[in-house]
Amino acid sequence: MTRALRRKLAASGAGARPGFRLRGGEVTRLEGFTDAVFAFAVTLLVVSLEVPRSYDELMNVMRGFVAFAICFAVLVSIWHEHFVFFRRYGLHDGPIVWLNAALLFVVLFYVYPLKFLFTLVINQVLLRLPSPEGSPTTPGQVRELFVVYGSGVIAVFAVLALLYAYALKRRGQLDLDRIELFDTRASLTRNLLAAGVGVVSIAIALTVPDRMIGLAGYAYFLFAPVFALHGSMSGSRRRRLPAREAAERTPHADPLPARGEKEEA
């Protein structure tokens, strides 16, 4: 099923971008294994939910829908970034295998913290429900929760950044042209900026007074403006690349002699 999904996405042009050659072809065993792990991670999000036996239990399950949807969207976005990387570069050597394994390890390890945090936030902030049993009750526990979650955010995006850094290292083998190099560096920068948001959240959680700890969670709203600003700036620079290349290839005419200079006979 996962192979069929990747083939359909590839046939639809997913991961393609004008000026970037796609080097990934058939779905490899590494990509198939990755798909299976992501599918298992999604399963872990719902495996703790039992079939409701009463109306009250059904309502409790439905209250977890928003948190599940957010967690599902996060996992899909990470999977899509992985899919695009392998479509564009088609790398499957030793370092890529280990970096891929590190990404899968972090994703699996942080599935439950991800679900726990979003369930807590949705229930208390949006639904105004009382804190469930086992929720953090002291400022110290809340700080630790944000540090744990922020560490996961940093780890995921740092590994994705390392994947793009490795692609840059192999630019000769991949024969990356100027536009492809620009896109690779832009993707590397975008993931570093995303990891930086996790750093900001942890810094807030560890430094602000107890009454302001919630700001560590609101720090993740920085994702939208950071990605939008980076996309706008990199997109503008990318559009200027063809004109710059054309200007560099155009031979420059010899400068005219200065006024008053005598031409040699």
Q: Both tokens of residue 95?
A: 């370092």
Cβ atoms < 10 Å from Cβ of 30: 15
Average pLDDT value over all residues in the chain: 82
- Collapsed DSSP state (helix, strand, coil) of residue 20: strand
Same domain, 151 and 63: no
235 vs 206: CA distance, rounded Å = 35
Last residue of a domain, one of 106, 131, 156: 131
Please indicate whether residue 219 or residue 251 has the higher confidence score (pLDDT): 219
What pLDDT was estimated at residue 29?
A: 86
Q: Is residue 146 situated within a structural domain?
A: yes
Same domain, 82 and 163: no
Is 21's pLDDT higher than 80? yes
What pLDDT was estimated at residue 50?
A: 62
Please indicate whether residue 49 or residue 26 has the higher confidence score (pLDDT): 26
Same domain, 67 and 107: yes
Question: What is the end-to-end Cα distance of the chain in Å, rounded?
Answer: 80
Same domain, 127 and 33: yes
Same domain, 78 and 149: no
Q: Indicate the number of domains in the chain.
A: 2
Same domain, 118 and 148: no
Q: Quick one: three-class SS letters along 22-86?
A: CCCCCCCHHHHHHHHHHHHHHHHHHCCCCCCCCHHHHHHHHHCHHHHHHHHHHHHHHHHHHHHHH
Q: What is the pLDDT of residues 118-162, one digit of tens each?
A: 877 777 666 565 655 556 668 888 899 889 999 999 999 999 999
Q: What is the pLDDT of residues 185-230, one digit of tens each?
A: 999 999 999 999 999 999 999 999 988 888 888 888 899 999 999 9
Quote the domain boundaries for residue 55.
27-131
Same domain, 127 and 140: no
- Collapsed DSSP state (helix, strand, coil) of residue 265: coil
What pLDDT was estimated at residue 22?
A: 86
Same domain, 59 and 102: yes
What pLDDT was estimated at residue 262?
A: 46
Same domain, 59 and 140: no
What pLDDT was estimated at residue 263?
A: 44
Same domain, 76 and 91: yes
Is 253's pLDDT higher than 50? no
